[in-house]
Structure 1
Amino acid sequence: MSKIYHQISKKPGFMKHNGGLLFRDLTKDKYQFKTKIKKNHINKVGITHGGYIASIIDAGAGTAVYRSAGNKVCVTISLDIKYIGSSKIGDEIIGDVKIQKVTNTLVFMNCELRSKKNKIAIASGVWKKLNKNL
Structure 2
Amino acid sequence: MTHTPVTPDDTWQLVHDEGFIDHIGPLYFRENGDAPQWVGFRAEAKHRNINGVVQGGMLMTLADRGLGRIARMAHGMNPVATVNFSYDFLGAAKIGQFVECHPKIVKETRSLVFMEGEVWAEGELIGRGHGLWKKLSKAPSTT
TM over 0.5: yes
Kindly tell me the number of residue pairs found equivalent between the two proteins: 131
CA distance in 1, matches of 2:32, 2:22: 23
1:84 matched to 2:90: yes
1:69 matched to 2:75: yes
| 1:25-64 equivalent positions in 2, closer than 5 A | 25-27=31-33, 30-64=36-70
1:23 corresponds, among 19, 29, 44, to 29
The one-letter code sitting in structure 2 at the alignment partner of 1:78 is N
Farther-moved stretch of structure 1 (53-62 vs 36-45): 53-62
CA shift for structure 1 position 45: 0.6
> For 1:28-87, what per-residue CA distance to the aligned partner results, in whole angstroms no more than 9, with x for missing partners?
552211110000100011011011111111112111111111111000011111000001
Paired residue for 1:7?
14
Pick closer, same or farther for the CA change 1:28–1:65 going to 2, 3 Å. farther
Tell me the TM-score normalized by structure 1.
Answer: 0.89
* Runs of 4 or more consecutive aligned structure 1 residues displaced over 6 Å after TM superposition: none
Paired residue for 1:114?
120
The one-letter code sitting in structure 2 at the alignment partner of 1:105 is S
Aligned-CA RMSD value: 1.9
Paired residue for 1:102?
108
Flag the structure with higher strand content.
1
Question: Which of structures 1 and 2 has the bigger CA Rg?
Answer: 2
Structure 1: segments with no counterpart, 5+ residues = none
Sequence identity, in percent?
28
Structure 2: segments with no counterpart, 5+ residues = 1-9
CA distance in 1, matches of 2:94, 2:20: 20
CA distance in 2, matches of 1:70, 1:12: 22
2:130 corresponds, among 105, 113, 124, to 124
